[in-house]
A = this chain, B = another copy of it.
């Protein structure tokens, strides 16, 4: 951030009075420009004994598989966002959404919220951001070609709970370690 989005003057990176963090502040119009984490919201679309995955047509992780998810927008609810992303990426409708897991990923300033939902009619086709979509059972999940650690972990929890016959709701931190690998810490 270089300029004030309110008045167009240069901003300074300072700790405002009464605060304890550096913020971009406009010393001309006195606007403090807070920057906060973003929410990525998505779901596991379920159909009979299968779930829906999408093959990414965009970077990062072009060509790898993921659950439908994306940045939550203003003026929508968290569930509406997850359903919208499913519609955009897989031309699919989901209903009966239940919160399944929340992950904090502090090093990229993101919080993921993932739901379980029922895929209406088992119908899906690739949206603009997907090369392909597929309804897969557990044996068909491409574990080595899942796009993101958070999706791998969501799928792992899903099949763990599915075996038990009871779905819980999880919170975890995904922590990038010094060697570049990820650790997941549950609470």
Contact = CB atoms under 8 A, between A and B. Distances in A.
Interface of A: 1-8, 10-11, 18, 21, 24, 33-39, 71-80, 97-99, 102, 104, 106-107, 109, 111, 113, 128, 168-171, 173, 187
B106 A76 contact: yes
Nearest to A11: B5
A107 B79 CA distance: 14
20 contacts: A2-B5, A8-B8, A21-B73, A36-B39, A36-B71, A36-B73, A37-B72, A37-B73, A37-B74, A72-B111, A74-B109, A75-B107, A77-B104, A77-B106, A79-B104, A79-B187, A98-B171, A99-B169, A99-B170, A99-B187
A11 B109 CA distance: 25
A45 to B, nearest CB: 16
A173 B113 CA distance: 14
